Amino acid sequence: MSASIRFIARKILPLFADIEVRGDVSKLPKGGYMLASNHLGRLDSLVVYYVIDNDDLIHPLTDKYKKYFLARIIASWLRVTWLTRGQADMKAMREFITRLKNGGVMVIAPEGTRSKTASLLKAEPGAIYIASSAKAGIIPVALTGTEDAVVVSRLKKFKKLKITITAGEEIYFPADIRAVKGAERDALLQNSIDEVMCRIAAMLPESYRGYYRDFPRVQDLVKTVKH
């Protein structure tokens, strides 16, 4: 199944989209890591297959989409793992951790939902919990040009999409959350996910940085990013 999706991403997607990949994706590990990106639109998941060769891609998706027939079809195609909305779904978490340990690649948008303004939203720390528990590194990825409104508008006018995929040069390994508890653990989780999001923000145009625009860490990272 992954091969067919990858074929679409690499052979068919370029027919209606100019895709620019920034960063050396040849250096990506074969597996056992998490890829965290901003979430702009429905095209994001397909774009991921353009750069990743691993056949065990782990896609989490909230169960609110189960009520839509088309969403269930696409979810089955992508082999998503459903997440129970509004609660800590430990069954899904254990599956994510096990598959990461076994060499899978988890594709996750820490914001938890598509940004209607295309700018970054405050991220939730679930990705850090999973990565830390699996002892997996996180590679930040910044996307532009996959916003639903932009995609629809350009295709209606028979204009090719302009998509950029920027991969971080450095893998981030979150701290071991087992060493702390309570409020200290909550702070560690949030600080860690903020670090990941700041790395994503630094690779994005300023108009996309949203919630993280004024973080001092972003300003420091911008100086080191090759745009």
d(CA 57, CA 54): 7
Q: Nearest Cα to 38, choosing from 153, 140, 178, 133?
A: 140
- How open is the CA angle 187-144-61, to the nearest 5 degrees? 55
Kindly state whether residue 97 falls inside one of the protein's structural domains. Answer: yes
The answer to whether residues 97 and 130 touch, using CB atoms and an 8 Å cutoff, is yes
Q: What is the pLDDT of residue 86?
A: 67
Kindly state whether residue 163 falls inside one of the protein's structural domains. Answer: yes
Kindly state whether residue 209 falls inside one of the protein's structural domains. Answer: yes
- Its pTM surpasses 0.95: no
Kindly state whether residue 54 falls inside one of the protein's structural domains. Answer: yes
Domain that holds residue 188: 2-222
Task: Spell out the per-residue pLDDT of the chain, length 227, in tens.
Answer: 577 888 889 999 999 999 999 988 878 888 999 999 999 998 998 898 898 888 888 988 888 888 888 888 888 877 888 888 767 788 889 999 999 999 999 999 999 889 989 999 999 999 999 999 999 999 999 999 999 999 999 999 999 999 999 999 899 999 888 888 899 999 999 999 999 999 999 999 999 999 999 999 999 999 887 65
Q: What is the pLDDT of residue 1?
A: 59
Tally of structural domains, the chain: 1
For the purposes of burial, counting CB atoms within 10 Å of the CB of 70, is it exposed (0-12), middle (13-18) or buried (19 or more)? exposed
The tally of CA atoms less than 13 A away on the side-chain side of residue 169 is: 9
Q: What is the pLDDT of residue 77?
A: 78
Structure-block tokens of residue 119: 């700018």
DSSP secondary structure letter of residue 74? H
Give the DSSP H or E segment for 61. strand 57-62
The CATH number linked to 33 is: 3.40.1130.10
Question: 55: alpha, beta or left, given left = phi > 0 and alpha = psi -120 to 50?
Answer: alpha
Q: What is the pLDDT of residue 226?
A: 65
Kindly state whether residue 227 falls inside one of the protein's structural domains. Answer: no
d(CA 35, CA 76): 21
Q: What is the pLDDT of residue 156?
A: 94
Q: What is the pLDDT of residue 30?
A: 85
Structure-block tokens of residue 13: 């997607």
Q: What is the pLDDT of residue 55?
A: 84
Q: What is the pLDDT of residue 112?
A: 87
Kindly state whether residue 134 falls inside one of the protein's structural domains. Answer: yes
d(CA 174, CA 105): 16
The answer to whether residues 128 and 192 touch, using CB atoms and an 8 Å cutoff, is yes
Q: What is the pLDDT of residue 129?
A: 94
Dihedral of CA atoms 59, 60, 65, 66 in degrees, nearest 10, equals 90
Helix, strand, coil shares of the chain as percentages rounded to 5?
45, 20, 35
Q: What is the pLDDT of residue 6?
A: 86
Largest CA distance in the chain: 55
